[in-house]
Amino acid sequence: MQIDYTAEAFSSLIQLVNYIESTNTRGAGLRWLNRYELFLKMKLRAPERIKLCNNYTFDKLNLHCIYFNDWVIAFSIGEKSVLIEALLHKSRISD
């Protein structure tokens, strides 16, 4: 299954990786990104099994959610791909 991003979600991902890199040892951002990508590949093997988000807004948009550490990944499912629509810190999400 191919994983795509909306422009906003991709921008959030890049900002997060750059922040991790700037506040940690050299290469920390890339290491985090590698772990994140491995997590996505594992979790999104069968995306239809992942329930809709608990968040009211994401639920109304029929988005599914998974959690990577403190990050909420909201996505929609297409025929042959998954579209990551939001990548937000869990503190920014209300039920």
Q: What residue numbers bound the domain in which 70 lies?
A: 2-90
**71, part of any domain:** yes
CATH number at 72 reads 3.30.2310.20
Share of the chain above pLDDT 90, in %: 89
Residue 63 and residue 53 in contact, taking contact as beta carbons nearer than 8 Å: yes
The pTM of the full predicted model, rounded to 2 decimals, is 0.90
Number of domains in the chain: 1
**95, part of any domain:** no
- pLDDT surpassing 90 at residue 72: yes
**52, part of any domain:** yes
Please write the tens of the pLDDT for every residue from 17-59: 999 999 999 999 999 999 999 999 999 999 999 999 998 999 9
- pLDDT surpassing 80 at residue 95: no
Burial class (CB in 10 A: 0-12, 13-18, 19+), 16: middle
Q: Is 75 helix (H, G, I), strand (E, B) or coil?
A: strand
Nearest-10 crossing angle of helices 7-23, 28-43 = 140
